[in-house]
Amino acid sequence: MKAIISASELASDLAASRPPTLLDVRWQLTAAAAAGAPPFDGRAAHAAGHIPGAVFVDLDADLAGPPGPAGRHPLPTLEHFGAAMRAAGVVSDAPVVVYDGGQGWAAARAWWMLRWTGHPDVRVLDGGLAAWEGPLAIGVEEPVPGDFRPVPGGLPLLDADGAAAVARTGLLLDARAGERYRGEVEPIDRVGGHIPGAVSAPTTENVTEGGRFLPAVELARRFESLGVTEGTEVGVYCGSGVSAAHEVLALTIAGIGAALYAGSWSEWSADDSRPVAVGADPQ
């Protein structure tokens, strides 16, 4: 099963007799929003124009629990996530396509959540809404409720101790920007730096300037250069488990399995007892 879908493929699938469930997960995280500025209103953006049939899903409300010691975007309860997906029309045996505004991070978080909880057929629109050339609908869709019941374990998941272990014995990738990894700047979390042993692997380097994923062979070559070899246990983290999901998706496209540390740096750095490394050296 492919993890991504092109805009032309999506248009064809939507015209079929049984179109996929389509989820709009537009979301943004900026330093200004983190500092208290009004957040991006994905729901309003959806109502102003979306791919016909798409239902809006709120990343902060539906794909994450309340922020706290477990991070800025901890995993939601299964009960809450399942109810949100059923309300959005997700059906257990029908394909799902998710998209966002083009960055791909939010859509990847939705993809990861659905795959982790057992949905067998989920794809991300490569390039997001920016890649869509068809008409847009306005207003709010009223989907038929779905029947999806989440069962965790479909994809590997790490906690803080597990991430530390992968950094020692496997390959732990840090999907944030290089300057945050090195601790030169930290606009959001309590302290800058990285998990000792983690390797810098900004997720922005997995895509073209237009925001579409690099071909699988190029992604595989990139991850090999970062230390992925046959049999390597791979984990990924970022600031709060959103852009890291995008990196897990890129690894999947390259044919590489990887675990997500959902709490990520926002959880790790909140605990003073956990070590912090700075600079370009993983250690």
Question: Strands 122-125 and 4-5, how do they pair?
Answer: parallel
On the 0-12 / 13-18 / 19+ scale of CB atoms within 10 A, 277 is: middle
Q: Which amino acid is at 208?
A: T
Query: Is 77 among the residues known to form the active site?
Result: no
Q: How many Å apart are CA 95 and CA 97, to the nearest integer?
A: 7
Nearest-10 Cα torsion for 29, 33, 38, 42: 0
* 123 beta partners: 97
Q: How many Å apart are CA 109 and CA 1, to the nearest integer?
A: 18
238, 245, 248, 251: the catalytic one is 238
On the 0-12 / 13-18 / 19+ scale of CB atoms within 10 A, 224 is: middle
Backbone phi and psi for residue 33, each to the nearest 5 degrees, phi listed first: -65, -40
Q: How many Å apart are CA 58 and CA 106, to the nearest integer?
A: 9
Catalytic residue set: 238
